[in-house]
Structure 1
Amino acid sequence: MTIDFNKAGDITESYSWSTLQDRLRDSIVSTNSSVAVSFDTTSSTLTNATGFVVDAENGIILSNRHVMSAGPSSHKATFFNNQEVPLQPFYYDPEHDFAFFRYDPAELKGIKPRAIKLVPEKARSGLEIRVIGNNSREKMSVHQGELSQLDRNVPEYRDSAYESYNDMNTFYYQSSTSSKEGSSGSPVVDVAGDAVAINSGGNFYSSSSFFLPLQRVKYAFEFVRQGKIPPRGTLQTVFHHQSHVKAELLGLTTELAASEGIDKENSTGVLTVKKVVPKGPADGVLKVGDIVVSVNGTVVTGFPELFEIIDGAVGQNVSLRVFRNHEFTTVNATVQDIYQVTPTRALRLGNSILHELSFQEAAARGSTAVTGIKINNDYNGMFSSADLGRRRVITEINYKPIPNMDALIQLLQIVHYDEPLVVKVRDFKEPRDEAVIVAHFPQVARPNALFTRSLETGFWSIEPLKLPLTHSPKLDAVEAEFSINEDNPENSAILSTASDIAARIQQCSVWIEARPICPANGYNAAHARGTGLVVDPQRGLILCSSRLAKNPTSNISVTFGAMRISASLAYIHPLYPFAFVKYDPALVDCTIPKLELSRPSSRLDVGDSVNIVTGTQSGLVCSTAAVSERCMLSTYACKWCLEQRFFNIEQFSLSPLPAQVGSDIGLVCSNDAIQGLWLCLPTCLHCNTICKNVGIDISLIRPSLVQLQTSDNIPAAPRVLDVEFKHQSLAEARALGVSSSYIKYLQKLSTAAQPILSVNRILRVRSPEIPSLEVGDIILQVNNCHVKHMDEVACFDTSEVELLIIRKGQEMTITIPTAPLCDANIRKVICWAGMYLQEPFHTVLHQSVRLASNVYMFMFDSGTPAMAESYHDNMFVVEIGENAIYTLDEVAQVAKLLKDPKQTGFNADIAENKGFRSGTVPGRDVKIRVVLVNGDEVVKSIRTNDHYYPAWQLVRGPRIDDKWVYKAI
């Protein structure tokens, strides 16, 4: 059959289903959206869906609102010939699930799409339809079906802590087409190729698909094609469609309905009031359960008639006749402009994303007034210590009401940076769920910025929000005492009883909170908190578990009783599971007592009786136990994040276990001094491992503590043999070639249960020319000294060591060079195109086939260019563009060269409604070459986005009390 097209390129005649796909394929596009900032009902993410051309001359594409997202985002469309064009997110409906993109028709080459007409009046029950889109990212998937229901109420999508968009106040069509993700935004067409609906959702537990009718879409389209904003009104009320049978149960009999002109023959039901938003235009006017009969004298039995009137009466009074309490009554309400309750600004403050609560969330997800500031994304932000969900709304700060963004910005002009904020929040789904929390500005964070959406262009401008945040005056300094119990007995203070130990430790215990600034060392976990022990109050040194320092970029705060001060992460030991935090002693207004550490040569042995003091923020628990076992500690790296693992550590176990097994840090004390630590090991979120506590000797901590007490610089990384050891039984050692005389010598040692050490695994392969250990080698001596403990071969301070070993049954002496252990105390992280780059840490080198470069990418942010094009993390970057990359400094230099000059003035253009019509934001297409951990080489192309994802770096000086500094590249 021949098909004719009108001047605008609209399909006008019907044809067979067999040719439908060929005729429409140039009009269907695949949409790719990168959501930069969590906003309203969407989170930062990537979406792949469908759109279709509705105006070929002006380059207008129709898709879903949830495809475009309400927040800052960038988009592109891929046509059938695989040509990609950038999209301008021109308009999304503030209530319904549709949106319009724009592209520049001049950018298309070799393809001429024809507009698909919007014909909502064709929809009828039983109509045979086709859904043409990109189902599950498969291009041009076609699903057939029939419209089975035209008056379905809106589907209720997931209801969880991370709320998604949900439509309201409209009918939905239903059909069994089995369309899945990727088909969102697909046209629902009849045999003539006209769109009768748009695919919006589905039921994963059945084959049902849900389509949005086109009445309000077509209404908005007439304004959009003229470059205007469609007038949209609201009563801040959610209506629900009920059958006539349900209406009779509510008292509206057939006779009463007929008296008001409600004809059952031409309608399937009536509209009832489901929800009235407090303080809205209909609050006190309409009531839940009211049956709407007519508006301004026009009988309404469905959503299209009702909202045709409301959209045409913005700012005007409307007269609603409703059935309530078995009688008819007339009420009046003023129609509000829905754009007034649709937020267009977002504030990044202290790493949190805040914006005004929208009518969409207040009505569809809750039953609360459209007022207050929603905490949309607080991952590692300034409110994260309170563990708030995404349904929380700020109503007060420092006892002052915060109804909107202007009130929040005004309040921020008068607060101190280092003073706590008293914040009152409520759950907008459960208004009675209120809480008062204390929030703190982080020491270091991404710059505060205000995102503003232009209604005329759809683009978001980003302007720095400069706040006059000042510091409060410092407290008076109080001097404290400290001493280490060395070999001189006169320096030792006897801790004779368990209660005395607990009393002293209670005064030395502090509460530590760590909030990561950005991902680092393979970690991007939420903020960590736990206990620490002040070990040097004069220097301001606190000992804690490395669980609190998994991410070295963290903002650290320390609480002394009723005082909270900022601190810095002084040192993370790269091999052992402990760390030191540094604070300014001048800020502490209390006296910290001294703690006595055991002599360097002291060591706990099996059978020793000890006192253990453990606890949490709520208090300490003191108990007695005995050392039950000494064995090797070995953990394994997660294959996803390659977090720090621990090896070559000899731990001790206690029996019975301390009462507070999950305590971050505890002290193991004998009658005269502290001899060990009871530490909680870091856990990995991917593995869902249970927190494990281990005991380690205090002798492992002493060298690091002494270095921190005598120098302001980071201690040098220890040198290791790059192998993992294990204990070997004496019987196995004899079979492997250890002499009987050496075994008899070991049996005389009081600590010798399993004293033989052998090589279990080679961690990093060395060049064949360099002498190295082999798997199975048994270590007998180090530098002519017999090996009695694991500590003697774990790490060294010399460039080489002489070893007496047993290899293949033969005794031999070899000299092996040591290698510096990769330092966990990184001083720089670069974020480029959304990917986080740093120097590789030791777990990466142990898992990698080769060190391709000194630039390691372990993570990327959601919705970023890196996520859009990269399906791998844990890789080495070796080339960006045509530039070879080996160091982080080279990455920074290349990032500067790749800056798009269009970025200058882009914000100003948006503010003046001069944003690029096609949606091109500053950025470049860049080829990158990477090497995966397994050695595979991959080449990718990334489209950078200098507007939403500018390059930046986080740097820190070499001193232990240096702070992290954020710098734009």
Structure 2
Amino acid sequence: MVFFVPSRLSVAVGGVVVAVLVVWRKKKRKWELSRILPAIVVIRVNYLKPFDGESAGSSQATGFVVDGEKGIILTNRHVVGCGPIRAEATFSNKEEVSVSPLYRDPVHDFALLRFDKTRLSFIRSFPEIELAPEAARVGLDIRVVGNDSGEKVSILSGTLARLDRNAPSYDGYDDVNTFYLSAASNTSGGSSGSPVLDEHGRAVALNAGGSTHSSASFYLPLGGVKRALDSARRGRRLDRGTLRVVWRYQTCDELRRSGLSRDTEKAVRRRAQGLLVVDQVVGPRAAKLVEVGDALIRVADGQSFPRFDELERALDSRVGRTVDIEVERGGKRVCATGVVEDLHALVPSEFVEFGGGVLHSISYQTQRRGNLEENGVYVACAGFVLDAGGVPSHSVITALNEHPTPTLDDFEAAQAELADEDRATIRFYHVGDRFNDQVATIRINRRWFPPLRWVRVDPPSVHHHHHQHDHPCWESREMPAPRSAAVGKIKMKPTHPIKTKPFFQRTHATARANRVVSSLCKVSFDVLHAIDGVVDWHFAGCGVVVDSTRGLVAVDRNTVVTSLGEASVTFAAAVEVPAKVVFAHPTHNFALVQYDPSVLEDDDGPSTAPFSSLEEEEEEEDDDLKIGDELVFVGLCRANPDQSLSQKVTVTEISCVNIAQARVPRFRATNEEIAKFDQVLNKSLGGVLVSRKGQVVATWACYSFYSWHDEKNYEAFHAVGVRALVDVVSRWNDFDLHSIGFGLKRIPLSTARTSLKLEDAWVQKLRERHPNRSQVLSVAQLAHDEASSDVSEGDLLLGIDGLATATFRDVETATRDKSNVQLTLWRDNAVKTVTLATRRVFKSPGTDRVVVWSGLLLQRPHRAVLEMGAPTTNVYCSYFLYGSPASFSSLKACRFVLQVDGTDVFDLDDFIQVVSSIPDATTVRLKTSDLQGQQVANTLKTDYTFWPSHQLVYRQGDWLLLSF
């Protein structure tokens, strides 16, 4: 069948056909991506310090060269941040160069970085991507090229769907007062800062973020970016003005519901589909100018119904001057005049390091998010001192020791009056709870954390290429301190006399409880560094005074988790005195802290708990605890530690501690028997158990254990006998104590006889040794060293020095006073006799030296690490600090350092000797191995400006901070 078409229609149809062919050919146009790919770089950023709501750490993103001649890269502001950073850009030929911030926009999500092209040896020409904001239109096909999901180069396609989207809202930093473009390109982490390209290879927008619930991606328009780039090329910083008003675009249908007059709507629709409306008023100045809901009609003498870019240009050109604005409020026109402030001045350019934390002024972003007043000092990171005092991060400090602190200068002046170890009150509120003022007490620490004040030094212009690219553009100085402030040992005496009676009232129902209660106290411990595998920073438990003359207090090792930290002892919630850790048992769950007893009057001070003496122990070879014992538990209430509690219990079972090693090796108690009772004890911080004789026979101690099932840490309380504690206290003056040095577990004699073929004669000897126990001990946890080389896992320990041993206490009694013992073992169906050098228990708090280098926390392998296997070296990395070179280079914790720049290191002295000669900003090669012996090679670049080298050494009963 043939159809005839009139000539006029034929022309029309032909026109359509031609148009379709043109469109088809246009879509077939080749995308010019290969030309611009060398201009796109992968950016790695190390955020050296927490700043303005963001934490320290590292991230990666995308950027692209916008000026190859001057070495300028465009990326997102949320990538660069406002605090100190170290950043590197990797080009497509895998050549790396340091970059430093040239311009950060105070509000919009873009920043300019600069690099020194002379430091790139293998790139002859630097292609750049042209900015073409005017090319953005609805329906434009785009490509987003960048480091999406860390894949170095990813090309995502999309079509621009909107040009007038309000700025997206995130959890942290938010852009305001600008339109955003959007498309369904499904960008994700790592693609921040990617160029949004048209088919000509021009950037029409800057990728900024996306939705986690859909494929929507959000792009920043490039109008303001182009103005900032032009200013940077001229060696100037773009002026940015603000009225401290957040505007939001609303369409006419929304405006009509808000009371927009019909005449205004008619005029608006001739030009656009909506108006800018006041969304938030930040601060009292802006509140006098406009109100929330006001619709913007005109700014200065510009065109009516301005859009975001027109409003921005009007304010930027009037910084420091007044501007007239006209708004419509409830259908009526209102005119007002306001002063345009410098938006750059509202971004913090200084910060203070105080007590391990980071403080700075309240930024415009924080003020806007929390609807805060401008006055106060923002806590970007609480650090050791503030966190220990109960002042959290993201708080605002309003006063220090009753001195108001509206600015950093005021805070610096207030802290200058406080000496090391002084107590000071601090007033603050949380950003999310501004009307709830709180008061806390902090303990000043200058010996570990000398206060520093840092100031950002921006480059004068883009032409200063020789500004230090390898270091952040920040300078520091020490903050003043009292002239009489002596930084050294821990002050054991409070600054004011103690007159309050520091013991609990004896109001319990039993005389046994009343006799012991005055010996109880609360022990608090704050961890300085995460050494020894610790899992938290602040701990509290119940202590018992074991020697009031010396001021010795025993507490479990889930309270004193490591040696490096600050301890305090509180008596009856009335008197708190500083203390220091003087002893931590390597295998048993107790440590000793010491306070100065002279600060308490003899008549009113706490009394020594009534423990059984060592002589009594030798006369009575009974166990600490036996089934059927009627005891009284006396402890401190968990919810209200100012109250003591007591409870009668009966021992129903004798068990033993069996704690598996955690993923991160840390202390676990071994060779301890525990008692179980006929009822559940009240929730407490811990306490003691008292016999009918009125003597303390056990402590109610807290144990920490790790669950491999859900990879979480848990706590449990158990009653453990005090004989091991008495061994230590009774020898305190002339300390000489030994232990067997490895872990043991209990095995039923029936299992030993049938499965391990133990001879009947030995079964009979063990039963005669303890008629009420039908058990034998087996070697279970060997610490790999020379002392235990003759002992193997699974050996049955039958006797020591000719005496049968069936309980943990048998072993301790046989080894505590001897440097060498003869062990009788059952191995491979035969009796073996070996001589063992016992392990000496030192009168020390445990780890006594920590080296901090480039953010690595290095120490000797502690016992828990030795239980994992033989160490490859004595330089063990227990942790790393975020924001440090170690963190930036992805160095891991729980590793041994084998080599530094090809030089073997066997101990901490070797390590210090090697690294001491390494200059700043130098790449260092490290060879490490994990706990299984798998070796890995890493590199890091030193940064002694922000991460100076030092070590913490325990000498003469105190910790010293030493630089190297």
Query: What TM-score comes out, normalization by structure 2 length?
Result: 0.88
- Structure 2 gap ranges (5+): 1-25, 461-471, 486-492
Distance 1:716 1:306 in 2: 80
Q: 426, 431, 436: which is aligned to 1:428?
A: 431
Distance 1:209 1:96 in 2: 17
Q: 611, 615, 620: which is aligned to 2:636?
A: 615
Distance 2:107 2:918 in 1: 40
Residue type at the aligned position of 1:774? S
Deviation at 1:406, TM superposition (A): 0.6
Contact 1:124 1:147 in 2 (8 A): yes
CA offsets per residue over residues 287-340 of structure 1, 9 Å max, x none? 111111111132234211111111111111111111112211101111111122
Distance 1:191 1:510 in 2: 74
Distance 1:93 1:531 in 2: 53
Q: 831, 835, 842: which is aligned to 2:863?
A: 842
Corresponding position of 1:61:
73
Deviation at 1:671, TM superposition (A): 2.9
Distance 2:575 2:558 in 1: 23
Corresponding position of 2:528:
517
Distance 1:405 1:17 in 2: 58
Corresponding position of 2:239:
231
Instruction: Compare 73-82 and 612-621 and name the one that shifted more.
Output: 612-621
Question: Are the structure 2 counterparts of residues 666 and 211 from structure 1 closer, same or farther at C-alpha, using a change threshold of 3 Å?
Answer: farther
Corresponding position of 2:455:
452
Distance 2:130 2:28 in 1: 17
Deviation at 1:408, TM superposition (A): 0.6
Instruction: Compare 585-594 and 229-238 and name the one that shifted more.
Output: 585-594
Counterparts of residues 622-771 of structure 1 (less than 5 Å): 622-639=646-663, 641-660=664-683, 662-682=684-704, 687-708=711-732, 710=733, 718-730=738-750, 732-733=752-753, 736-744=756-764, 746-747=766-767, 752-760=772-780, 762-764=782-784
Deviation at 1:716, TM superposition (A): 6.7
Corresponding position of 2:5:
none
What's the Cα RMSD here?
A: 2.8
Q: 576, 588, 593: which is aligned to 2:607?
A: 593
- Higher alpha-carbon Rg: 2
1:441 equivalent to 2:435? Answer no
Q: 891, 896, 917: which is aligned to 2:916?
A: 896
1:334 equivalent to 2:339? Answer yes
Distance 2:527 2:793 in 1: 38
Residue type at the aligned position of 1:145? G
Secondary structure of residue in 1 paired with 2:712: coil
Q: 89, 101, 104: which is aligned to 1:77?
A: 89
Corresponding position of 2:927:
929
Deviation at 1:778, TM superposition (A): 2.3
Deviation at 1:497, TM superposition (A): 7.8
Residue type at the aligned position of 2:324? S
Deviation at 1:748, TM superposition (A): 5.4
Question: Are the structure 2 counterparts of residues 572 and 627 from structure 1 closer, same or farther at C-alpha, using a change threshold of 3 Å?
Answer: same
Deviation at 1:868, TM superposition (A): 2.2
Instruction: Compare 51-60 and 556-565 and name the one that shifted more.
Output: 556-565
Secondary structure of residue in 2 paired with 1:463: strand
Contact 2:544 2:554 in 1 (8 A): yes
Contact 2:58 2:888 in 1 (8 A): yes
Distance 2:199 2:736 in 1: 75
Secondary structure of residue in 2 paired with 1:340: helix
Distance 2:380 2:136 in 1: 38
Contact 1:30 1:78 in 2 (8 A): yes
Residue type at the aligned position of 2:866? L
Corresponding position of 2:960:
965
Contact 1:417 1:469 in 2 (8 A): no
Question: Are the structure 2 counterparts of residues 576 and 254 from structure 1 closer, same or farther at C-alpha, using a change threshold of 3 Å?
Answer: same
Distance 2:794 2:528 in 1: 43
Corresponding position of 1:909:
none
Corresponding position of 1:465:
479
Instruction: Compare 818-827 and 570-579 and name the one that shifted more.
Output: 818-827
Distance 1:824 1:754 in 2: 37
Distance 1:816 1:621 in 2: 45
Distance 1:937 1:717 in 2: 38
Contact 2:633 2:687 in 1 (8 A): no
Deviation at 1:935, TM superposition (A): 0.9
Question: Are the structure 2 counterparts of residues 369 and 776 from structure 1 closer, same or farther at C-alpha, using a change threshold of 3 Å?
Answer: closer
1:118 equivalent to 2:118? Answer no
Contact 1:802 1:813 in 2 (8 A): yes
Distance 2:301 2:929 in 1: 71
Contact 1:420 1:440 in 2 (8 A): yes
1:247 equivalent to 2:249? Answer no
Question: Are the structure 2 counterparts of residues 437 and 775 from structure 1 closer, same or farther at C-alpha, using a change threshold of 3 Å?
Answer: closer
CA offsets per residue over residues 193-213 of structure 1, 9 Å max, x none? 111111111112211111111
1:320 equivalent to 2:334? Answer no
Deviation at 1:425, TM superposition (A): 1.1
Secondary structure of residue in 2 paired with 1:394: strand
Question: Are the structure 2 counterparts of residues 98 and 497 from structure 1 closer, same or farther at C-alpha, using a change threshold of 3 Å?
Answer: closer
Corresponding position of 1:212:
220
Instruction: Compare 814-823 and 75-84 and name the one that shifted more.
Output: 814-823
1:415 equivalent to 2:418? Answer yes
Deviation at 1:787, TM superposition (A): 0.9
Query: What TM-score comes out, normalization by structure 1 length?
Result: 0.88
Corresponding position of 2:401:
398
Larger relative CO (CA 8 A, sep 6+): 1 or 2?
A: 1
Deviation at 1:502, TM superposition (A): 3.6
Distance 1:837 1:576 in 2: 25
Q: 944, 947, 956: which is aligned to 1:946?
A: 944
Secondary structure of residue in 1 paired with 2:913: helix
Deviation at 1:749, TM superposition (A): 6.0
* Count of matched residue pairs: 899
Distance 2:33 2:809 in 1: 72
CA offsets per residue over residues 684-743 of structure 1, 9 Å max, x none? 6994333201111110101222233x15xxx67844353543332435435533344544
- Structure 1 gap ranges (5+): 1-13, 159-163, 483-494, 901-922
CA offsets per residue over residues 471-491 of structure 1, 9 Å max, x none? 698556999999xxxxxxxxx
CA offsets per residue over residues 430-483 of structure 1, 9 Å max, x none? 32232122222137423211111123367111222232275698556999999x
Distance 1:721 1:416 in 2: 44
Distance 1:438 1:234 in 2: 38
1:859 equivalent to 2:879? Answer yes
Residue type at the aligned position of 1:306? L
Distance 1:954 1:691 in 2: 30
Question: Are the structure 2 counterparts of residues 813 and 383 from structure 1 closer, same or farther at C-alpha, using a change threshold of 3 Å?
Answer: closer
Question: Are the structure 2 counterparts of residues 20 and 355 from structure 1 closer, same or farther at C-alpha, using a change threshold of 3 Å?
Answer: same
Contact 1:53 1:116 in 2 (8 A): yes
Question: Are the structure 2 counterparts of residues 122 and 759 from structure 1 closer, same or farther at C-alpha, using a change threshold of 3 Å?
Answer: same
Question: Are the structure 2 counterparts of residues 24 and 147 from structure 1 closer, same or farther at C-alpha, using a change threshold of 3 Å?
Answer: same
Distance 1:433 1:16 in 2: 63
Contact 1:681 1:691 in 2 (8 A): yes
Q: 570, 574, 585: which is aligned to 1:573?
A: 585
Contact 1:726 1:758 in 2 (8 A): yes
Deviation at 1:71, TM superposition (A): 0.9
Contact 1:676 1:697 in 2 (8 A): yes
Corresponding position of 2:351:
346
